[in-house]
Amino acid sequence: MIEFKEVEKLYQNGVHALKKMNLHISEGEFVLIIGESGAGKSTLNKLITREEKATGGEVIVNGFNLSSLKEKDIPSLRRSIGMVFQEFRLLSKMTVFENVAFAQEAIGIPLDLISDNVSQALATVGLDSKADYFPKELSGGEQQRVAIARAIVNRPNIIVADEPTGNLDSKTAWEIMSVLEDINKQGTTIIMTTHNQEFIKHTTKRIIVMDHGKMLRDDKGKVLTS
Ligand code: ADP
């Protein structure tokens, strides 16, 4: 569950990136966040993951009140959130398997459990046959699947995906959307920023439109026609 109450983000340079933002995202929702560049979408994501801290109001994520969260509790919050980025952010010197396993090692999962968990995550994204490949041997869509496997391997209940299809062609973008939909069907909440006009036109998902740090529209389950 994600709750924003009158959230403000004023960066130190004076940019007012979020203005009195109110938002409620229930467990299991799939929400698309759209808006022009500079509208505040990344800031919204960074407040959820606590990469940035709100300068006013309250952000509550998975029961953590991020406005008063102590530094020592940030790892627990982050463990409950998987992150996916436009540029994949895989480690080039590690195999597919190692890239995903690294996320498990980072949180101290015992080695004898890691192999099964990684295989399961790779199977979910349809890449179990390429566990020993290196990122450069994969297509863009496959690399993003690895990044998604890495995001889900620790079983977070929220995925924050920042333009996950921004570097992909249209067909591959739909394939990645379909992978995210499968993960969402298993109960994971997904918050995804996108510029993909095809998704926006054809989706029946909830769409939040950001504009100059405010929520301009919140269309639950409607196809946007304008
Ligand atoms: P979007 O993701 O919709 O493009 P952002 O959240 O990245 O929007 O940015 C919103 C506004 O905040 C922009 O004016 C941007 O320049 C500013 N901004 C973003 N990050 C920072 C930062 N770390 N320091 C100062 N200003 C920032």
Cα-to-centroid distance, 149 and ligand 1 (Å): 28
pLDDT digit string (tens) for the chain, length 226 residues: 999 999 999 999 999 999 999 999 999 999 999 999 999 999 999 999 999 999 999 999 999 999 899 999 999 999 999 999 999 999 999 999 999 999 999 999 999 999 999 999 999 999 999 999 999 999 999 999 999 999 999 999 999 999 999 999 999 999 999 999 999 999 999 999 998 888 888 888 999 999 999 999 998 755 444 4
Q: Is the CB–ligand 1 distance for residue 38 below 6 Å?
A: yes
* Closest by Cα among 118, 223, 126 to 176: 126
Cα-to-centroid distance, 14 and ligand 1 (Å): 11
Q: Is the CB–ligand 1 distance for residue 7 below 6 Å?
A: no
Q: Which of 10, 11, 208 to mutate to test the pocket of ligand 1 (most atoms within 8 A of CB)?
A: 11
DSSP string covering 33-47? EE--TTSSHHHHHHH
Cα-to-centroid distance, 178 and ligand 1 (Å): 29
Question: Would you report the helix, strand and coil content of the chain in percent, each value rounded to 5?
Answer: 35, 25, 35
CA 105, CA 154: separation in Å to the nearest integer? Answer: 10
